[in-house]
Amino acid sequence: MSPSFNSRPVRAAVLFGLTGLFAIAIGVLYSMGSADSAGQDRQPLAFSHARHAGDLSIDCLYCHRAAPVSTAAGIPPMKTCMSCHQNVAKDSVETRALAASWDSQRSVEWVRLHRLPDFVYFTHERHLQSGLRCVKCHGHVEQMSSTPRAASFEMGWCVSCHAAQGVSRDCWTCHK
């Protein structure tokens, strides 16, 4: 005779199974992350680091000028882009769209790619002054036609880099 659903062990097993399925579903959704959708990093204008940093050898810090003196590298101001594009590649679709924004005094609404939790203190300034180069964290952007997210920037990734560099792993170094 099979046990009925009303028996305590069967109800406990079903509840345990449903709880497990729920936990697995949450884990899968978390690992995919709502912020990790395929189109999330699509920028309003196509921008190629391969073209600018690779082919043209423009240094990261030419465009991301705030990085050596700030917590954030920041998105370059439009005047940085237009300092070249008022005269160069003026007829491309992307440059015409950039120029239209410039002429109408509207900023391009770039999609922010990296955001750390508020409790994490990170400064580009400190990392650059210690001799780290952009490629260490952001990869070889000079080979990237689009601008994908770089490393995971999860705590374990940062701690392993700190260990490899022989720098502080004290929690208060990064958690303020």
The mean pLDDT of 6-35, rounded to a whole number, is 76
Coil, strand or helix at 99: helix
Tokens encoding 57: 């050898």
Q: At what angle do helices 78-85 and 93-103 cross, to 10 degrees?
A: 120
- pLDDT score recorded for residue 164: 93
Q: What are the tens digits of pLDDT across the range 139-158?
A: 898 998 887 676 677 888 88
Instruction: In whole angstroms, give the CA distance from residue 30 to residue 24.
Output: 10
Percent of the chain with pLDDT over 90: 33
- The residue among 124, 91, 116, 129 whose CA lies nearest residue 176 is 116
End-to-end Cα, the chain, rounded Å: 62
CB 111 within 8 A of CB 43: yes
- pLDDT score recorded for residue 35: 47
Q: 165 phi and psi, to 5 degrees?
A: -85, -10
Q: What are the tens digits of pLDDT across the range 82-116?
A: 999 988 888 889 999 999 999 999 989 888 887 78
Is the pLDDT at 39 greater than 90? The verdict is no
Contacts for 113 with CB less than 8 Å, ≥ 6 apart:
41, 147, 148, 149, 150
Q: The whole model's pTM is what?
A: 0.70
The answer to whether the Cα torsion of 12, 18, 20, 26 is positive or negative is: negative
Is the pLDDT at 81 greater than 60? The verdict is yes
